[in-house]
A and B are shown apart, each in its own frame.
Chain A
Amino acid sequence: MKVDIQKKVKIIQKSMESIRRSDTTLHTITFPRLAQELQIPMEELTSFFLNVEDIFLNEQKRVNRKIEKFLNEGIQNAKTASQAKELLESATLKLVDLLPEHSDLVFSASFYLPKCIEERARAKKYYKQTFRRIIKKGWPGKVDSVLDRQTDLVLLSVYGFYEYCARVSKKEGKAIHKDFTNMINLHLQDRLFF
């Protein structure tokens, strides 16, 4: 089992390197061509993935699953407002840590490959609901309409942050993280917002 996982990871990494080198649209890359590029039998590729879309979906879901687990556990454990505030900060830092080197390619794929678009839409809905719960708990006393508007702003900010981090090194992602969370905090504390 462990060997299988290692093999799968290796295939993913090699595939991403090959796709990056080819500099072509992802949907035009076929499995036989990829197997040839990677110099592995087709059967080995198909034992893990159905097609190129499946490789990207796997990568997209892997990061989403981990972040969602982190957020779900965090919400459950957050008993105070400050713990909820910390959760938002630590979740975005966790995102920086989790994003693999090829996350720019996965980001691109999530805008076109149908299953990846679907996953993106599902995840966005989840994040919206979850951020709303965190904001409500971490910055209590907001009326529903304010909560909704601020949730939208936090959501779009996090997606902008995700796009940025997907394209830069972890070091650069972490460098902006503190400023990013400070800004979100400032926004959520803003009593004059309305």
Chain B
Amino acid sequence: MKKSTNNLKDKVVNRAVNSLRRNKRIEQISFAAIAKELNVSIDEITSFYSSTEDIFLEAQKKDWESLHRYWDKYIKQSSTPGDYKNAFEIFFERFVDTLSMDADLRLELSCYLPKCVKYRERNRKRVKQKFNKLIKKGWPGKDVKVLDRQTELVTVLFYGFIDHIVHIPKIERTRILRDFRNMLNLHLQDRKFF
């Protein structure tokens, strides 16, 4: 039951994204058209989503929650600086690996739709907190100020990385991921930073 509900929700998200890709306008995404395409009743769709914005918000949450679960597992298992560094790196790898085909559109909506923007802000704080913890444990010996400044910079760069990576072909993503991680590592090892 739960699986079929999830499948239907995924299908609704895909149809909404396809519609947006075709028409470029959110207001042209119609619950009726999606219901007809999926051969379900509108009521079934409205039992999950109250608006188009809701469809994208739920999809955004689902992607991030899954990423956090995966990440938390590694953080929890970490005990040495090497483990924490690994958990830091794994996050970026997983993020790139799990980007959907429609990651560009999903990012654009997460920066545009008010509810999605709010979720994005909250999530940014959550990501930043985890970066802080991992930098503290993975690159020990930094004082609190340095840690905070470096955490902020890593977060700033990560959000620029997201914007960049969703707009390039999948094959190029791995290459830039490697360079990006090298850049962050160099930054975090920098003893002359201050």
Contacts and interface: CB of A to CB of B under 8 A. Distances in A.
Instruction: Pick the most buried of B25, B152, B179: most chain A CB atoms within 10 A of its CB.
Output: B179
Interface stretch (B9-17, B65-73, B75-83, B110-118): B110-118
Contacts of B48: none
A92 B77 CA distance: 40
B19 to A, nearest CB: 15
Instruction: Pick the most buried of B150, B163, B183: most chain A CB atoms within 10 A of its CB.
Output: B183
A170 B121 CA distance: 19
A147 interface: no
Nearest to A188: B183
Contact of A157 (B27, B108, B149, B160): B160
Looking at chain B's contact residues, is the secondary structure mostly helix, strand, loop, or mixed?
helix
A109 B187 CA distance: 32
A160 B159 contact: yes
Interface string B153-169: 10011111101110000
Interface string B71-115: 000000000000000000000000000000000000111011110
A108 B117 contact: yes
Looking at chain A's contact residues, is the secondary structure mostly helix, strand, loop, or mixed?
helix
For chain B, the bracket of interface size reads 35 or more
Interface residues of A, number: 36
A186 B108 CA distance: 31
B153 A187 contact: no
Nearest to A160: B160
Contacts of A158: 160
B99 to A, nearest CB: 15
Interface string B114-151: 10010000000000000000000000000000000110
18 contacts: A25-B26, A25-B53, A27-B26, A111-B109, A111-B111, A111-B112, A112-B26, A112-B111, A152-B179, A153-B176, A159-B160, A160-B159, A161-B156, A180-B156, A182-B193, A186-B187, A187-B183, A190-B186
10 shortest interchain CB distances as A-B pairs: A160-B160, A156-B164, A112-B112, A111-B111, A111-B108, A156-B160, A159-B160, A160-B156, A164-B156, A111-B112
Given A111-B107, A156-B163, 12 more contacts: A25-B26, A25-B112, A27-B26, A107-B111, A111-B108, A149-B179, A150-B179, A152-B164, A157-B160, A159-B163, A176-B153, A193-B182
Interface of B: 24-27, 53, 107-109, 111-114, 117, 149-150, 152-153, 156-161, 163-165, 175-176, 179-180, 182-183, 186-187, 190, 193
